[in-house]
Structure 1
Amino acid sequence: MDLPDDLPMNERIRLLRESRGMSRAVLAGLCGRGPDWLKKIESGERDLDSFTLLMRIAGALDVGDLTAITGPAPLVQPVRTGRLSHPAVPAIWSAVMERAMVPKQSGPVDVAALRGRVEQSWRLWHTSGHNRTEVGALLPDLIRDAEQAVRSTDGATRREANVVRSDVYRLVGQATAYVASPELAWLVADRAVDAARDADDPAAIGCAAWNLGNIMRETAYPGEALRIVVDAASQLRPHLDDGPEDWRGIYGALHLHAAVTSAREGKAGEAWRYWDTGNEVAKSLPQNYVHASTVFGRANVDFHAVSVATDLRSSSKALNLADDLDPDVMPSVERRSRLWVEITRGHLQRGDTTAALHVLTKAHRISPETVQFTPSARSAAAELWRKAPRALRGEAGHLAEAIDVTPPG
């Protein structure tokens, strides 16, 4: 929009929101806040003095230059905050949309071999620092082959093929998080759930619910996300005594999801109760147990304690918990990098930009794409770019440019 230079920030936000047809509730939800908060911002009753929240509003409004919101203030620099993209997404989208148009092919599909390929792809997701690029290149063929496996089989083999198909779409959800359109995110989450239900497999249903919960939480439906994962855990609970270890792993992962979701809503009591359940599940499993896709296990439970404390803005507790961890025991490179992002957030909450910059640089070194495509990491990088001490501005600028938060040069 072509807004007058002298238009105040609150009016700019309101006009930009209305021009996109967004309600206050939707925009506020995308920023992790309530509609009353946004109403006060837009009316001028409350100042928007948090750079992190300013970044969130810009991202939600798909604004690539913060001056569209702030006005031509001399101290504000342009920031790339609109919807993220990745070159793997168009081919993935094409494969997802082909299902209804591809005729049934003759000949069986080796479901066991397909399962092996999917398991290898999950391992690649957790071990590569460039996981979106490397896994994204594999996904189109996996999607097509999974769909063909279901079309070309029947009976027990078809149920097994549906479990594999659900796993494929869950992996698609992970690999395209934050870079796909909402339509693709919802579609692949729904297909994962449908395939798991068609398989009538409790573990697959639990994993699909965990995946759907991720999508709902990140698209501003935390209440629904919490309900889905809690319901899925309740349905899985009767099967735990006679089921394999992985069923307990999924049950624990659902509770960790609920813990983070509650923490982001500021519900400390609920968050720690859900975390406690996940902790008890981890204690009942072997010390070295790790679920293949959710990476639930002892280390991930401990990592989630840091996330819960950070989301509750208990930075001292978060950093104290982090001090007692050995990140290298986590086999997932992606999850290890995200831990350092959480620690970065804790340091920023305390105003320690020097420590935050050091830690976020470490997270980027471990997994560049995790930092580049995780909104909390990008917000932290932008905040550091703005607030870093003079002696560290060059380093903060290089990091921001490396993850495409700032224009090069």
Structure 2
Amino acid sequence: MDIPGNLTTGERVRLLRESRGMSRPVLAGLCGRGPDWLKKIESGERELRSHTLLMRLAAALQVGDVSLITGGSPAVAQPVRPGRLAHPAMPDIWQAVMTRPLTWPLPDAPPDPAALHARTAEAWRLWHTSDRQRTQVGALLPALIRDAETAARATEGDRRRTACVALSEAYRLTAQATAYLAPAEMAWVVADRALSAAQAADDPAQIAAAAWSLGNILRSTAHPEEAVAVVQDAASLLKPHLDGAPDDWHGVYGALQLHAAVTAARAGLAGSAWRYWDAGDRVAKALPAAYVHPSTMFGRANVDFHQISVATDLSASRQALALADQVDPEAMPSVERRARLWVEVARGHLSRGDRTAALHVMQIAHGTSSETVAYTPAARTAVLDLWRDAPRALRPEAGRLAEAVGVAVA
């Protein structure tokens, strides 16, 4: 867009924000800050001096160069990726999701719902065991979505309910695989279809799992109160059915508590965060020691991992690192979740100013799952911070990591 040259940085931010129809709380939330911070930036009461925050603003506003925000100051002008990270699987997934026909000829022999259920289970297994989960799962999703949609329309009775469960699972997995990749409009469509399919199946556990995915979207779009409300509503729906229910129903219930714990922690609500974490911990203690939920990974190890995440998000880095010393990463069967644990530990070291340890741990995270680091904003931000502030002797290593992750370091 054509921005007048005489505008200040704050005026430019406001103009760009309003042109995109974004509210102050939403944009501030995408930058990890509060609306008061953004109000002061836009009014000129506060200067935008942080390079990291400048890059976050540019990404959230989806501008191709930060000079649109700064006015072209040579000290900070720098190209920036679009607001959503690019991945080669996205065009085909977008096509499968966003161009779904309202009517089409149904086959005489639609896909078997039981076979679809097995395919979604295998895709979830691949998501958690591959270090290139977005690429490998992303290649499966378009066909899986189309086949599940067909089966849900072409079957009846119990077979249709089974097909709807598979469809809900396919859309939940799509939400995971396209997190930070999909535009907001697609993310909302995917979350809504997962919930609608679960409701069509009349399956309380699937409804609760779909609400868990919807909570992720609400949290990532700076709606923490709504996110907690959704997952707690789902927990209330599921709780009356838990007596005598399968372990996986309890696993979903526990995952909802951990979701609320992290959401509260990111909002700075320590009391609520630890109360929700305690609730999840009690669920894990009542389940078999080796139990792991197949999609959310709820179980003993995940509860311990979330304890570290809660402490990190509450800026209790000393506590987070002490807790990290007590966990065994290999107890978590999910490669993706192990990599995110190492990212949390690296963030803890960064918050304490120990960049040498942070760089070492982030290298472990990248070695565990390169795509988890490359496509997670918190990890990318940590890598960029490391490159900018690493000790001189470690600067070449930090630069190689930043280049491997795809963070702009020019």
Calculate the TM-score normalised by the size of structure 2: 0.94
Q: CA deviation at 1:78?
A: 4.2
User: In 2 relative to 1, CA 390–138 (structure 1 residues): closer, same or farther, beyond 3 Å?
Assistant: same
Match of 2:75 in 1: 74
Match of 2:350 in 1: 348
Match of 2:89 in 1: 88
CA distance in structure 1 between the partners assigned to 2:52 and 2:75 by the alignment: 19
Match of 2:20 in 1: 20
Q: What percentage of aligned pairs have identical amino acids?
A: 65
| RMSD (Å), alpha carbons | 1.9
Q: CA deviation at 1:109?
A: 2.8
1:320 matched to 2:308: no
1:56 matched to 2:56: yes
Q: CA deviation at 1:33?
A: 2.9
Q: CA deviation at 1:25?
A: 2.7
Match of 1:282 in 2: 284
Please, which of 261, 268, 281 is the counterpart of residue 270 of structure 2? 268
CA distance in structure 2 between the partners assigned to 1:314 and 1:100 by the alignment: 50
1:141 matched to 2:143: yes
CA distance in structure 2 between the partners assigned to 1:14 and 1:345 by the alignment: 30
Which runs of 5 or more structure 1 residues have no equivalent in the other structure? none
CA distance in structure 1 between the partners assigned to 2:358 and 2:381 by the alignment: 12
Q: CA deviation at 1:249?
A: 0.3
User: In 2 relative to 1, CA 66–346 (structure 1 residues): closer, same or farther, beyond 3 Å?
Assistant: farther
Q: Deviations over 1:103-146 (max 9, x none)?
A: 22222432111111111110000000100000000011101110
Match of 1:34 in 2: 34
Would you say how many aligned residue pairs link Structure 1 and Structure 2?
408
2:356 aligned counterpart, secondary structure: helix
- The code of the aligned residue for 2:270 comes to A
Which runs of 5 or more structure 2 residues have no equivalent in the other structure? none
Please, which of 234, 240, 243 is the counterpart of residue 242 of structure 2? 240
User: In 2 relative to 1, CA 345–27 (structure 1 residues): closer, same or farther, beyond 3 Å?
Assistant: same
Please, which of 294, 297, 305 is the counterpart of residue 295 of structure 1? 297
Q: CA deviation at 1:6?
A: 7.9
1:330 matched to 2:332: yes
1:104 aligned counterpart, secondary structure: coil
- The code of the aligned residue for 1:109 comes to P
CA distance in structure 2 between the partners assigned to 1:247 and 1:126 by the alignment: 20
Q: CA deviation at 1:79?
A: 4.3
Q: CA deviation at 1:63?
A: 2.8
CA contact (8 A) 2:383 2:407 kept: yes
Q: Point out 4+ residue stretches in structure 1 off by more than 6 angstroms.
A: none
1:103 aligned counterpart, secondary structure: coil
CA contact (8 A) 2:59 2:80 kept: no
CA distance in structure 2 between the partners assigned to 1:73 and 1:347 by the alignment: 32
Task: Please show how residues 353-368 of structure 1 align to structure 2 within 5 Å.
Answer: 353-368=355-370
User: In 2 relative to 1, CA 38–171 (structure 1 residues): closer, same or farther, beyond 3 Å?
Assistant: same
Q: Deviations over 1:148-180 (max 9, x none)?
A: 111221111111111111001101111111101
Structure 1 window deviating more from structure 2 (14-23 vs 395-404): it is 14-23
CA distance in structure 2 between the partners assigned to 1:195 and 1:90 by the alignment: 23
Please, which of 246, 256, 261 is the counterpart of residue 254 of structure 1? 256
CA distance in structure 2 between the partners assigned to 1:64 and 1:282 by the alignment: 45
Q: Deviations over 1:53-85 (max 9, x none)?
A: 333212111134334434424366544363211
- The code of the aligned residue for 1:400 comes to A
CA contact (8 A) 2:25 2:222 kept: no
- The code of the aligned residue for 1:272 comes to W
CA distance in structure 2 between the partners assigned to 1:26 and 1:198 by the alignment: 32
User: In 2 relative to 1, CA 12–353 (structure 1 residues): closer, same or farther, beyond 3 Å?
Assistant: farther
CA contact (8 A) 1:52 1:380 kept: no
2:92 aligned counterpart, secondary structure: helix
CA contact (8 A) 2:117 2:162 kept: no
CA contact (8 A) 2:366 2:372 kept: yes
CA distance in structure 2 between the partners assigned to 1:252 and 1:143 by the alignment: 27
CA contact (8 A) 2:58 2:80 kept: no
Match of 1:385 in 2: 387
- The code of the aligned residue for 1:63 comes to V
User: In 2 relative to 1, CA 354–6 (structure 1 residues): closer, same or farther, beyond 3 Å?
Assistant: farther
Q: CA deviation at 1:12?
A: 3.4
Calculate the TM-score normalised by the size of structure 1: 0.95
